[in-house]
Amino acid sequence: MGVAPGGTTDIIARLIGQWLSERLGQRFIIENRPGAGFNIATEAVVKAPPDGYTLLFVVTSNAINTTLYERLNFVFLRDIAPVAGVSRSSFVWLVNPSFRANTIPELIDYAKANPNKLNIGGASPAQQVAIELFKMMAGVNMLYVPYRGDAPGLTDLMGGQVEMYLGGSAEAIEQVKAGRVRALAVTTATRLETLPGIPTVAESVPGYQASSFFGIGTPRSTPTEIIDTLNREINTGLANPGMQARFADLGAVPLALSAAVFGKFFAHETEKWGKVVKFAGIKAE
């Protein structure tokens, strides 16, 4: 997995790993290999034997990286076989409590009146392209500030070093409920159960939708029977009420799909975000 321990991605991966361990009687170890925008972990799985013992926790950034990076040592859609979807979760548009805008329309009006004067932080390619999509659809300009994780970004937001931050749902929900930051909107097509009073961006910018998704992949040529077993057990877990409740606490919803449909879903996300990367001229750092 291409992230450090802690945070939404790590928590959900460990929930799935624990479920599979209990169901299959095999110990599933979550190995964190952060760096290079998730590409280090991905390349490690690409090079692993296709025996079902090495899995990749697939994230939105894997779809984005296909276009974002000019040179990779693998072709994701060719070298990683889809196994199953896991979940989708929203990003939350956060602002410092003293921020002048209280709604997305007020933010858009201010941004248009003050081009390139606002800044907004994010901690992954997925957060960056979600911001770029907003800029493109709303017709505004603002400065993107990259962070190496939501924790330092939220700390700077609360301290006033950045005016806005697009945070992962689990981290954002905690800070919003504590009153340390304000939420203007969520980026999914529907509102979050855990933040029912917070509107979607699409309520002000029709058609806007961005989310973080997670899934499982494995090296290509992994036997079909192994993929089928993993898919069946993961989808059984996603239907479990206890798992669903835990996901809801994290602002996530299950993404139960067949291996083939997850593959199509990933290809669609790759195409969608590739267009945003090219339009915005985003380059990997």
Return the domain boundaries, the chain.
7-88+210-280, 89-203
Confidence (pLDDT) at 123 = 86
| Token duo for residue 8 | 């939404």
Confidence (pTM): 0.87
What does 137-177 look like in DSSP terms, one character per residue? Answer: HHT---EEEE-SSHHHHHHHHHHTSSSEEEEEHHHHHHHHH
Q: What is the mean pLDDT of residues 239-254?
A: 92
Which pLDDT belongs to residue 64?
Answer: 94
Task: Dump pLDDT digits (tens) for 142-197.
Answer: 999 998 888 899 999 999 999 999 998 888 888 998 999 999 999 999 998 888 99
| pLDDT for 285 | 65
CATH number for the domain running over 7-88+210-280: 3.40.190.150
Binning pLDDT at 50, 70 and 90, where does residue 113 land?
very high
pLDDT > 90 fraction of the chain, expressed in percent and rounded: 76
- Read off the tokens for 87: 């979940």
* pLDDT tier at 32, thresholds 50, 70, 90: confident
Superfamily of 89-203 according to CATH: Periplasmic binding protein-like II (3.40.190.10)
Question: What's the rounded Cα separation, in Å, for the pair 33 and 24?
Answer: 24
Residue 5, pLDDT above cutoff 80: no
Q: b or e along 3-20 (b: 16 or more beta carbons within 10 Å of the residue's beta carbon)?
A: beeebbbbbbbebbbebb
Backbone angles phi, psi at 48, to 5 degrees: -75, 155
What is the mean predicted confidence (pLDDT) over 21-44? 87
How far is it, in rounded angstroms, from Cα 56 to Cα 89? 19
- Total residues belonging to the chain: 285
Q: Which residues of 81-93 are buried (b: 16+ CB within 10 A; e: fewer)?
A: bbbbbbbbbbbbb
When the pLDDT of each residue in the chain is averaged and rounded to a whole number, the result is 92
**DSSP summary character for residue 205:** S
Q: What phi and psi values does residue 217 have, to the nearest 5 degrees? A: -130, 170
Q: One fold for both 7-88+210-280 and 89-203? A: yes
Any bridge partners for residue 214, and if so which? 59, 87
Alpha-carbon separation of residue 212 from 106, 229, 252 (angstroms): 25, 25, 9
Residue 35 has pLDDT above 80, yes or no: no
Between 10-14, 15-19, 79-83, the lowest mean confidence (pLDDT) is in 10-14
Judge whether residue 83 has pLDDT over 70.
Answer: yes
